[in-house]
């Protein structure tokens, strides 16, 4: 498994597209109130991946400049959003976006900021954001112990996933956010969920960069445990992931 964050998902793109959660549409109305977001706003989506977050803002009418260093993920977004003229795919990094100075009304990072929380990123965000613009950091945070199934799934990750405890986005806490933002930030929380049969649950697990892929040590045992966990907790062939979608807004 590559240690470089921008390469970790290269072999996960298919599962990522199919099985990663979207974001609650209520986020848009909240950003209208909190940041002055309009359909004319220019969005810089940093670490945009396969376009899940970009799509939320494109539906609202915004121009979205989607900055993604991973070629496989970037090309997947280009295919999925090929018919959308307001989508602009950018081969860049959080530290070097290639975007113009002070051109973005809103800078978002969805399910990505924990990969590039560096002083260089802060400097680049300041450069490309308009003086009255906002930074919006978004995560779908899977509930770890809300149900017996979710507790069992968390135990599975801690047992089998290679560096899960090290790279999980919950490592970005209030202290880290306070050091990143240049002024006090606010947080909004929305409910979100996914429902899975076993095949889609397996795809969701394998979309994670820390889950051993087929042929890697621990993969077969991990899938066997996932099957057991599903069989114990399924209801009419379905299990649920419950999320708190956290949206942090600052400057």
Residue found by looking up tokens 């969005």 in the block? 43
Q: What is the domain count for the chain?
A: 1
pLDDT in tens, 174-221: 899 999 998 899 999 999 999 999 999 999 999 988 899 888 999 999
| Cβ(87)–Cβ(81) below 8 Å | yes
Q: What is the per-residue DSSP string for 116-180?
A: --SHHHHHHHHHHEEEEEEEEEEEEEE-SSSSHHHHHHHHHHHHH-SSHHHH-GGGS-HHHHHHH
pLDDT value for 101: 98
Structure tokens at 95: 């530290």
In a domain, 159, yes or no: no
Quick check: is 56 in a domain?
yes
Integer Cα distance of 115 and 2 in angstroms? 13
Q: How does pLDDT run across 94-141, given as a tens digit for each residue?
A: 999 999 999 999 999 999 998 898 999 999 999 999 999 999 999 999
Please give the angle made by the CA atoms of 115, 118 and 123, to the nearest 5 degrees.
125
How far apart, in whole angstroms, are the C-alpha atoms of residue 101 and residue 123?
12
Model confidence pLDDT, tens digit, residues 42-72? 999 999 999 999 999 999 999 999 999 999 9
Q: Give the model's confidence band at 9: pLDDT under 50 very low, under 70 low, under 90 confident, else very high.
A: low
Q: Are strands 239-250 and 186-196 parallel, antiparallel or unpaired?
A: antiparallel
157 within domain boundaries: no
What is the pLDDT at residue 100? 98
Tokens, residue 88: 């602009």
Mean pLDDT of 82-102: 97
pLDDT score, position 198: 98
Tell whether the model's pLDDT for residue 7 goes beyond 90: no
Q: Is residue 136 part of a domain?
A: yes
Provide the residue range defining the domain that includes 36. Answer: 5-142+167-194+243-250
User: Does any domain span residue 43?
Assistant: yes
**Does some domain include residue 215?**
no
Calculate mean pLDDT across residues 24-30.
98
Spell out the residues 6+ positions from residue 80 whose beta carbon is closer than 8 angstroms to its own: 17, 50, 51, 55
Three-state DSSP at 214 gives coil
> Residue 112's domain is classified under what CATH number?
3.40.50.150
Sheet holding 63-67, edge to edge: 87-90, 63-67, 42-46, 104-110, 129-142, 239-250, 186-196
* Residue whose C-alpha is closest to residue 238's, from 147, 158, 161, 160: 147
Residue written as tokens 């899960």? Answer: 164
* Residue 3 banded pLDDT, cuts 50, 70, 90: very low
Establish if 82 belongs to a structural domain.
yes
Report residue 29 as tokens: 């109305």
Tell me, yes or no, whether 94 lies in a domain: yes
Structure confidence at residue 115 (pLDDT): 87
Q: Measured between alpha carbons, how far is 240 from 197 in angstroms, rounded to an integer?
A: 9
CB atoms under 10 Å from CB of 178, counted, come to 11
The number of residues making up the chain comes to: 251
């Amino acid at each position: 498994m590559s240690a470089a964050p921008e390469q970790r998902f290269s072999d996960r793109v298919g599962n990522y597209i199919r099985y990663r959660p979207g974001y609650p549409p209520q986020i848009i109305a909240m950003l209208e109130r909190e940041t002055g977001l309009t359909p004319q706003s220019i969005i810089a989506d940093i670490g945009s991946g396969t376009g899940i977050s970009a799509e939320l803002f494109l539906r609202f009418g915004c121009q979205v400049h989607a900055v993604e260093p991973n070629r496989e993920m970037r090309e997947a977004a280009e295919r999925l959003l090929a018919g959308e003229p307001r989508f602009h795919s950018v081969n860049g990094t959080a530290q070097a976006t290639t975007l113009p100075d002070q051109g973005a009304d809103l800078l978002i990072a969805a399910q990505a900021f924990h990969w590039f929380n560096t002083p260089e990123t802060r400097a680049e965000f300041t450069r490309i954001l308009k003086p009255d613009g906002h930074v919006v950091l978004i995560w779908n945070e899977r509930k770890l112990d809300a149900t017996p199934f979710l507790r069992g799934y968390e135990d599975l990750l801690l047992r089998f996933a290679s560096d899960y405890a090290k790279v999980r986005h919950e490592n970005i806490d209030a202290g880290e956010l306070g050091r990143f933002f240049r002024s006090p930030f606010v947080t909004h929380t929305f409910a979100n969920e996914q429902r899975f049969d076993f095949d889609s649950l397996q795809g969701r697990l394998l979309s994670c960069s820390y889950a051993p892929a087929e042929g890697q040590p621990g993969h077969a045992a991990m899938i066997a445990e996932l099957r057991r966990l599903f069989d114990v907790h399924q209801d009419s062939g379905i299990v649920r992931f419950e999320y708190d979608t956290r949206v942090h807004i600052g400057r």
